[in-house]
Amino acid sequence: MSYLVNGRSFTEEPAPGQCLRTFLRSLGHYGVKKGCDAGDCGACTVWLDGDPVHSCITPAFRADGHEVTTIEGLGAPGDLHPVQREFRDAPGFQCGFCTAGMIMTSATFTDAQRADLPRALKGNLCRCTGYRAIEDAVRGVVGVAGAAPGKAVGTSVGAPAADDVVTGRAEFTMDTRLDGMLHLKVLHSPHAHARIVSVDKSAALAVPGVRRVYTWQDVPRRRFTTAIHTDHLVDPDDTFILDDTIRFVGQRVVAVLADTVGAAEEGCRKVVVEYEVLPAVFDAEAAMAEGAPQLHDTDDPFALDPVHNVLLEIHSHIGDVDTGFAEADVIHEGTYSSPRVQHAHLETHGSIAWLENGRLNVRTSSQSPSIAKVKLAHLFALRPDQLRVFCKRVGGGFGGKQEVISEDLAALAALDTGRPVCFEYTREEEFTTASPRHPMTLTVKLGAKADGTLTAFQVRNVSNTGAYGNHGGETLYAGGAAVMIYRCPHKKYDAYSVYTNTVPSGALRGYGMTQPAFAVESAMDELARALHLDPLELRRRNIVRPGEPLVALHDGPDDVSFTEDSLAKCIDRVGEALARTAGQASPGPEWLVGTGVASSLHETAPPTEHISEAWVTLGDDLVYELAVGTVEFGEGTSTAHVQIAAGQLGTTPSRIRLVQSDTDRTGFDTGAFASAGLFVSGNAVLRAADAVRDRILEYAAAYTGVHPVLCSLGEEDVFCGDRRVPLAELVASARTRGIRFTAARKAYGSPRSVTSNTQGFRIAVHRVTGEIRILHSVQAADAGAIINPAQVRGQVEGGVAQGIGFALTENHHIDADGVMVNPNLRNYRIPTYADIPRTDVLLVASTDSVGPLRSKGMAECCINPVAPALANALHDATGVRFRSLPLTPERIYSRLIEKQSVSTGSDS
């Protein structure tokens, strides 16, 4: 066979049955990504004789005698293909994992295809951008701008890694190959609840290439939690690396280590496990009932009430709700539910571990290498100096990688064998074993005077944490913020985090707020209609105002700064935008049109301790090295950190060299989640840059004999009075005296600020099919002072897109035996380009933040009001209230037919 890849001939032959994707990656073409292995996502797109194909479903032998082009062959930094340049300059990416495939597809478009992007891009998925940025890239819209020295903040500068991303040279976790690397695969439980009676390894060990078979008896018997927080005590240590008790379908039972992935998979098939099947329970309310199957032992110190499967309860009140309801003229009560939702980041979880000079190295796809290191040190009794954990670029996270779920087994096998070990999740494993959003059922009861003034606010929240606690407690507390948004003298919040025999739930964008926001904002809409008030007006009359306490779960003091009326501004801006399109024509007589709104408040850092340390050093080459532990996975913190540093140091982003997410090369960082990558780490960067600037100016003042207040730092010079001293001269002088211009500074997640978001939709609903078309989407957001306008807009657009998927298409279907029946992207159905409208992003300026330069993170909160705004628009259009998600066409159709039958008196 003969293979021509990017103009170079290869004599290597693929293995029998090997797909073109894995073959190309084995040749070192890592720009060809794995997202699905089913032809669903397009991340693996390459050209075969100039035509785009999904290489994961193309047999490698079909490329024999043909020309293959990968993203690396399309162009290189300094010599970009026009489409690569367009994706860089739009910018048409966030995490960048889908970008190579998007470019390889888009670079073949004809004019007709560019005119019909919903069809032309149907084979390529993006989970980050919301697709607007990709559309701009395809159409040649430029969004990136340059920055003058010291003027980077407030400008849409490009990402530091932009050229590498668009050329496929940016390294992601699995984009490497180590000599002698072994591969680990896992045998998953077919049962929802069982006890392992015996494991027969013999047939598995007889498979050629299999090196080890690990069971629960072969791993350290140390409890831990997979959830990542600085304070590990907020999460339950209820998990083992491998266990002899199985609590959900998909739980890992046995790990097999082999020379190849195929051998490891065959080894898993050969393992014989005898189970004692136990009764299972899947519903949270049923799990709390007397006599329900018990998941954890009664002597487990980490469960509050293990007899009733309760991990954690919250019972709080302000005032007396009975009094409040007695004072009400109108009372509304409703129960609202939301399902599991998967992150569906296109890069699956994965880790590579190896020993080097006696130290364990773990290269992983994580949102927090610092805390992953802490957990691994605990599990394997290692000293901190015996362990390094680091990340390359991470292909999406959204909270899903705020867990330690691949690092432990890779580390175990590397420590055991002394050889490099790779453990990479499949797409099916992402759906069946990684941690989705918590299903929640909330009962909301509201009382109000006739003028709309709230008198009582009561919420009962039952959260299904799945088989293990992970983030079960913290998301339950976070949900209280949905109660914070409205002032009311009488509030009550009762909440339960409940164990069930389902996949453990975890952190997902919105973190415990998205589900309560759906319930509370839907209930407020229903209350408004019962009061015959405009829903926006009801919100205006009741939202918490500056100077008033942000009362959610208690009325004690807190560390939250809230001094501007940004939420009212967001509501007004959305109301005005919807009014401007009120006359928009219906798609036709079969369509019903309605509008809906919803709002949310979100604290800018988690209440648990969040820490970040940044280091800044001026090198001999006059480039500033910025070292910070925060991971880049599309949220844009790398760009923002470089902008902040460049602004404080009077230079341009090109003069900042970024080192990040490596426990050997950066300080401690809690992690990039809850928007803390900007809010907390950004403050650390700001302080470290300020400290280095001050040291340079102090030295320059002494060097010139000019008072420091008369000195200022430029890009290549320091100005002291009327004298200009080259920065190179100062660095050389300082070096002779053993002085380095370097500083480290820490920042903490306190005090905190509040972000505000209001989402509006105008939709059309087909009265026969139940299809929803979004005619207008608008979100107003308070992001404080804007560091990078293009990035803020991109985060909002991406959050709205995920919220639309959460509301309309996505569902984690589990059958009566606890088995997920749609564990793939095609059937789970994350939104495609055709599903997502352009969203008008209206940025509300505010200065009340205590974040860096008064900025606020926007990646987390923008998703929260999306689902309730859609549900409210659906009710406005149809007169039918949907209190559970997702709002699929078949459900809408059934309810519309039911309503029609009732109104006509028909029995059909």
pLDDT in tens, 234-266: 999 999 999 999 999 999 999 999 999 999 999
Q: Within 13 Å and on the Cβ side, how many CA atoms surround 484?
A: 25
Q: What pLDDT, on a 0 to 100 scale, did the predictor assign at position 908?
A: 35
Question: What's the whole-number mean pLDDT along residues 846-873?
Answer: 95
Extract the tokens encoding 98: 């889908």
**Model-level pTM?**
0.96
pLDDT category at 585 given cuts 50, 70, 90 is confident
Extract the tokens encoding 619: 């090198």
Judge contact between 543 and 571, C-beta under 8 A. Answer: yes
Query: Coil, strand or helix: which one is 82?
Result: helix
Q: What are the CA-CA distances from residue 424 to residues 182, 343, 344, 865 (Å)?
A: 12, 17, 15, 34
Q: What pLDDT, on a 0 to 100 scale, did the predictor assign at position 2?
A: 84
Judge contact between 271 and 199, C-beta under 8 A. Answer: yes
Q: What pLDDT, on a 0 to 100 scale, did the predictor assign at position 308?
A: 87
Q: What pLDDT, on a 0 to 100 scale, did the predictor assign at position 326?
A: 98
Q: What pLDDT, on a 0 to 100 scale, did the predictor assign at position 303?
A: 59
CA–CA distance, 571 with 405 (Å, rounded to integer) = 40
Tell whether the torsion through CA atoms of 487, 493, 497 and 502 is positive or negative: negative
Judge contact between 461 and 288, C-beta under 8 A. Answer: no
Q: Which range among 117-126, 300-309, 663-672 shows the weakest confidence by mean pLDDT?
A: 300-309
Question: What's the whole-number mean pLDDT along residues 807-836?
Answer: 96
Judge contact between 751 and 850, C-beta under 8 A. Answer: yes
Q: What are the CA-CA distances from residue 250 to residues 34, 187, 254, 423, 605 (Å)?
A: 21, 8, 11, 16, 33
E runs forming strands in 547-668:
591-603, 611-618, 624-628, 656-660
Alpha helices in 531-662 (DSSP H): 535-542, 566-580, 637-648
Q: What pLDDT, on a 0 to 100 scale, did the predictor assign at position 902?
A: 75
775 exposed, middle or buried (CB, 10 Å; 0-12, 13-18, 19+)?
buried
pLDDT category at 907 given cuts 50, 70, 90 is very low
Relative to beta strand 245-246, strand 194-200 is antiparallel
Judge contact between 517 and 482, C-beta under 8 A. Answer: yes
pLDDT tens digits for 423-439? 999 999 999 999 999 99
pLDDT tens digits for 325-342? 999 999 999 999 999 999
Q: What pLDDT, on a 0 to 100 scale, did the predictor assign at position 301?
A: 60
Q: What pLDDT, on a 0 to 100 scale, did the predictor assign at position 306?
A: 65
Looking at per-residue confidence, does 455 or 559 come out higher? 455
Extract the tokens encoding 680: 């907390």
pLDDT category at 299 given cuts 50, 70, 90 is low
Q: Is the pLDDT of residue 839 over 70?
A: yes
Question: What's the whole-number mean pLDDT along residues 575-594?
Answer: 93
Residue pointed to by tokens 């984690």: 812
Q: What are the CA-CA distances from residue 111 to residues 92, 106, 139, 338 (Å)?
A: 19, 11, 10, 42
The mean pLDDT value of the chain amounts to: 95
Q: What pLDDT, on a 0 to 100 scale, did the predictor assign at position 482?
A: 86
Number of residues written out for the chain: 908
pLDDT category at 493 given cuts 50, 70, 90 is very high
SS percent in the chain: helix, strand, coil, step 5: 30, 25, 45
Relative to beta strand 359-364, strand 387-390 is parallel
Q: Is the pLDDT of residue 138 over 90?
A: yes
Q: What pLDDT, on a 0 to 100 scale, did the predictor assign at position 300?
A: 60
Question: What's the whole-number mean pLDDT along residues 372-389?
Answer: 98
Extract the tokens encoding 544: 């918490």
pLDDT tens digits for 727-770? 999 999 999 999 999 999 999 999 999 999 999 999 999 999 99
- Quote the percentage of the chain above a pLDDT of 70: 98
Q: Which residues of 125-142 are buried (b: 16+ CB within 10 A; e: fewer)?
A: bbbbbbbbbbbbbbeeee
Tell whether the torsion through CA atoms of 891, 896, 902 and 905 is positive or negative: negative
Looking at per-residue confidence, does 482 or 733 come out higher? 733
Q: What are phi and psi of 658, to 5 degrees?
A: -95, 130
pLDDT tens digits for 37-75? 999 999 999 999 999 999 999 999 999 999 999 999 999
Q: What pLDDT, on a 0 to 100 scale, did the predictor assign at position 825?
A: 97
Q: Within 13 Å and on the Cβ side, how many CA atoms surround 545?
A: 4
CA–CA distance, 804 with 865 (Å, rounded to integer) = 10
Question: What's the whole-number mean pLDDT along residues 450-458?
Answer: 98
Question: What's the whole-number mean pLDDT along residues 833-840?
Answer: 97
Question: What's the whole-number mean pLDDT along residues 94-117?
Answer: 98
Q: Is the pLDDT of residue 553 over 90?
A: no
Judge contact between 703 and 697, C-beta under 8 A. Answer: no
pLDDT category at 588 given cuts 50, 70, 90 is very high
